Amino acid sequence: MKALILVGGYGTRLRPLTLSSPKPLVEFCNKPIVLHQIEALAKAGVKHVILAVSYKADKLEEELNIYAKQLGIKISATYESEPLGTAGPIALSKKVLQDGVITELGNDGEAIFFVLNSDIICDYPFTELLEFHKAHKKEGTIVVTKVDDPSKYGVVVFQESGQIEKFVEKPKEPVSNKINAGLYIFTHKIFDRIEVRKTSIETEVFPLMASEEQLYAFNLKGFWMDVGQPPDYLDGMCLYLNHLKNKEPSALIPKGVEIPDSVEIIGPVLLDPTCTIGENCVIGPNVAIGPDCRVDKGVRIQRSAILRGTHVKSHSWIHSSIIGWKCSVGRWSRIDNVTVMGEDVSVRDELYINGGRILPHKEIKESIPQPSIIM
């Protein structure tokens, strides 16, 4: 079985991190964002994952093929020379999706495949989604998730059976609290509805499929977040870490991590086995510290991600921020308010950074008291 992951775009919402790395390879809870999806697809029986890309395709394929060998699957890419929206990449990938396929778990002999938006983090229900799709025997299924304020979204209205009746964009009246979660499964009949041009599957394809009673909704249980921009990345990290705390607590702090007795861990906290934590630190809740990171004595970190190779010096305080690769945070510094540091940023001692977006390879010599971009 095959899956297509939509990873086009330049990752502008997640800058400055995406100035150094394609967005799908940016770590989310110590693992590339897209690898969370690929592992779940492989577990559900997918043998070939296609990446629909438009930016740094070679780097994506090269790095992800290392994981492909470990998972026993194939990863390849299709390249968009111009933006094709959310439906055009599916048409562009038609040949590779159909290549070698006769019938695979399809409806009435029709082969099927998954499609995913690459920014989505959740407890991916691919096996259950597949069973649901096979049962209703229609062309497509979209995963829907519940939101507290549906007026901010386009909502999905569907019957108890799951058959979708219509889509309503930012309803003033509460007609539904379910939105498109960015995870789909289709039969190959979808190729008759799309072509290689810029097309929105949400606004141009789905409404027509619904009007023909060919589209069903599958209810997602548990957490969900689009982590494509820093505030949502941090919200999604909190949801994911709490999910791990309940489902797989041993994955949070693996064996081999040496934590001094004077350190207080307020879970959930995710520590890579190669990171080091100094005396008298307070870490958590909702913190992910990546490989080869060094946290010196007396540091306080909460609701933040510390990426590979970063050094957090003594008595600094980090809250609600993303610290990029190979950064250095000075002694007695305070980092707050969704600050995002790109690769190789150095912050001098005793500085305050409030909501800074700091581009790679910068040395910060003065405090940043107001949210701003440091170029």
Q: Measured between alpha carbons, how far is 160 from 141 in angstroms, rounded to an integer?
A: 14
Structure tokens at 83: 């933006």
Which position has the token pair 């991600």?
Answer: 305
8 Å CB contact between 155 and 100:
no
Q: Measured between alpha carbons, how far is 348 from 271 in angstroms, rounded to an integer?
A: 25
Q: Measured between alpha carbons, how far is 203 from 265 in angstroms, rounded to an integer?
A: 46
C-alpha distances (whole Å) from 203 to each of 163, 206, 210, 274, 311 are: 17, 6, 11, 46, 46
Angle between helices 33-43 and 57-71 (to 10 degrees): 40
Structure tokens at 137: 């025997």
Q: Measured between alpha carbons, how far is 362 from 375 in angstroms, rounded to an integer?
A: 8
Q: Measured between alpha carbons, how far is 66 from 59 in angstroms, rounded to an integer?
A: 11
Q: Which of 98, 48, 102 is nearest to 76 (CA)?
A: 48
Q: What are phi and psi of 168, to 5 degrees?
A: -125, 120
In whole angstroms, what separates CA 329 from the centre of its chain? Answer: 26
Provide the sign of the torsion angle of the four alpha carbons 195, 200, 201, 205, taken in this order.
negative
Structure tokens at 232: 């949502």
- By the 10 Å C-beta count (0-12 exposed, 13-18 middle, 19+ buried), 125 is classed as buried
8 Å CB contact between 53 and 77:
yes
Q: What are phi and psi of 214, to 5 degrees?
A: -115, 10
- Catalytic residue positions, numbered: 170
